[in-house]
């Protein structure tokens, strides 16, 4: 690929850290999510780096600044979603790593208003995780109405689930996080972050434990972040009457098709169903303030750093759940030791 040039209102960034997301795995493995993907394109939508060049009209960052970038690089600015600042829902939106070249490269070009300076204390690796954090914040703090007196179930202790559980905790809720035996180390990590209860869904009945904790009431809000059919059911079953089910990044297998007891759940139980797709500039603002105030555990989620050339190994580690987050660093060469924790 030729080295990119920043156009008007664009910023060229030398990539220092790019994180592998499970949606990158889906893009790589299947064509079922191709509605978001516009190949040929360089993947990678979670990254950080240093500004090396700015296009005309860019004033808020300069070469040498440590930055992260929202993935939005182009929107129509005309549609209803754009008028409301919800660029995630613009149908003509172009995003880094899906419809425009992303972070799995030495350089990336981002839109100026999508670029933010990184707080000094935050490493490039941790900064790369702000994108998934903002997706969790969008779901928890913008889409769902989590209150301090709520009990919340987060299903799936992947990166989104770990951030969603923390965000719900920051909102003051009592938080229950469920995962499988394979996710036990992640559940332990969540406990160290102060998450109130964890459930191993392979050995415990999620709904039963939820009923014990909530004295039979059920949870007020359930965030489904795993995409597993059994977990989707467990969330619906665990919700109270009138509770809110939030689809949060859990890409369901089976091409997203799901058979549910529609009458029983939505008619009989008056559940509310909310989708939380991607993120918004407002959620980025919230995420930046939360990390500035050191209210989110981020660095702990980075378990491996690899040279960009070893992307395939990194994808494998994400797929077999060996890693929580794998960072690809284009400046490392094969054989060099990355940060291992």
Q: What are the angstrom distances between the C-alpha of 14 and each of 67, 73, 177, 295, 328?
A: 10, 17, 37, 28, 13
Minimum CB separation of residue 252 from Zn ion in Å reads 16
270's tokens: 């008056």
Q: Which of 1, 13, 15, 120 has its CA nearest to residue 58? A: 13
String of contacts with Zn ion for each residue 7-46, x by CB under 5 A: --------------x-x-----------------------
Number of residues that bind Zn ion (CB under 5 A): 7
Asked whether position 76 contacts Zn ion by CB under 5 A, the answer is yes
Q: In angstroms, rounded to a whole number, what is the distance separating the alpha carbons of residues 108 and 105? A: 7
Half-sphere exposure of 50 (CA within 13 A, CB side): 9
Q: Please identify, using beta-carbon distances, which residue of 86 and 123 lies nearer to Zn ion.
A: 86
Antiparallel, parallel or unpaired: β 239-248 and 219-224: parallel
Which of 174, 166, 184, 54 is closest to 109 using CA atoms? 54
Of the ranges 78-86, 117-125, 165-173, 281-289, which one interacts with Zn ion (CB under 5 A)? 78-86
- Shorter beta-carbon distance to Zn ion: residue 90 or 176: 90
* Residue with smaller CB distance to Zn ion, 22 or 238: 22
* 79 is an interface residue for Zn ion by CB under 5 A: yes
Q: Which x/- pattern, by CB under 5 A, does the window 84-103 give for Zn ion? A: ------x-------------
Cβ at position 236, least distance to Zn ion in Å: 25
Q: Which residue's CB is nearer to Zn ion, number 243 or number 249?
A: 249
Residue 207 and residue 137 in contact, taking contact as beta carbons nearer than 8 Å: no
State the residues that interact with Zn ion by CB under 5 A: 21, 23, 75-76, 79, 82, 90
């Amino acid at each position: 690929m030729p080295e990119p040039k920043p156009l008007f209102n664009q910023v060229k960034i030398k990539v220092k850290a790019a994180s592998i997301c499970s949606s990158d795995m889906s893009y790589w493995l299947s064509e079922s999510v191709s509605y978001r993907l516009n190949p040929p394109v360089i993947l990678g939508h979670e990254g950080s780096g240093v500004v090396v060049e700015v296009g005309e009209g860019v004033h808020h960052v300069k070469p040498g600044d440590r930055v992260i970038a929202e993935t939005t690089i182009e929107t129509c600015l005309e549609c209803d979603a754009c008028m409301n600042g919800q660029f995630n829902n613009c149908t003509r939106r172009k995003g880094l790593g899906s419809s425009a070249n992303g972070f799995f490269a030495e350089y990336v070009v981002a839109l100026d208003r999508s670029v933010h300076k990184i707080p000094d204390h935050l490493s490039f690796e941790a900064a790369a995780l702000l994108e998934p954090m903002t997706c969790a914040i969008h779901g928890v703090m913008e889409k769902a109405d989590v209150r301090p007196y709520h009990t919340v179930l987060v299903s799936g202790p992947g990166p989104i689930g770990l951030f969603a559980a923390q965000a719900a905790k920051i909102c003051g809720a009592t938080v229950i996080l469920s995962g499988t035996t394979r996710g036990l180390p992640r559940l332990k990590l969540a406990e160290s972050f102060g998450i109130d209860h964890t459930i191993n869904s392979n050995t415990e009945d999620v709904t039963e434990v939820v009923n014990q904790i909530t004295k039979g009431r059920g949870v007020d809000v359930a965030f489904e972040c795993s995409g597993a059919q059994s977990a989707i059911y467990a969330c619906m079953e665990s919700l109270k009457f009138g509770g809110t089910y939030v689809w949060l990044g859990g890409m369901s297998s089976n091409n997203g098709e799901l058979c549910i007891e529609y009458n029983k759940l939505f008619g009989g139980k008056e559940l509310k169903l909310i989708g939380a797709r991607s993120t918004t500039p407002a959620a980025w603002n919230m995420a930046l303030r939360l990390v500035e105030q050191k209210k989110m555990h981020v660095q702990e989620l980075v378990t491996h750093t690899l040279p960009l050339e070893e992307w395939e190994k990194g994808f494998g580690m994400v797929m077999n759940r060996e890693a929580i987050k794998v960072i690809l660093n284009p400046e490392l060469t094969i054989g060099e030791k990355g940060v291992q924790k």
